[in-house]
Amino acid sequence: MPLIQWNDALSVKIDKFDDQHKKLVGLINELHTAMSQGKGKEIISHAINAMIDYTRTHFKDEEAFMKMHNYPELNAQQKAHAQFVDKVLDFKKQYETGVLTTTVQLFSFLNTWLIEHIKKSDAKYGQALANKAV
Ligand SMILES: [Fe+2]
């Protein structure tokens, strides 16, 4: 899998959330770079913790924004966000217990989930609420 390239197709047309999404893409790409240098295992714990920390802030911000504007798909977004955090926590547990020995599945999950989520779910709130962003 190649590095994720940021492009307009990923934009939700709200600068604050585009910036946060770029940061998430950056975290995933860092993991990718480490893997390609054979250092995936060394940074896996850091990568998982950084992802958990940053997505918590990001999801909270998005959900607060959706709530403020009575966005009808808030519940579905909350559910998707919670499932994502659970899955990453599960990777963390697998890593800590020695079950997870490679970064490949983690990278592939993060990569696929984030791109799909931004393009499908987040693009919708972008369309609905971009004119309300400050
Ligand atoms: Fe998002």
Q: Separation of 37 CA from ligand 1 center, angstroms?
A: 29
Instruction: Report pTM.
Output: 0.91
Q: Separation of 46 CA from ligand 1 center, angstroms?
A: 21
pLDDT tens-place string over residues 55-83: 999 999 999 999 999 999 999 999 999 99
Q: Separation of 77 CA from ligand 1 center, angstroms?
A: 9
Q: Which residues surround ligand 1, an ion (CB under 5 A)?
A: 122
Residue 55: burial class (beta carbons within 10 Å; 0-12, 13-18, 19+): buried
Please give the pLDDT value at position 74. 98
Positions of the chain with pLDDT under 70: 1, 134
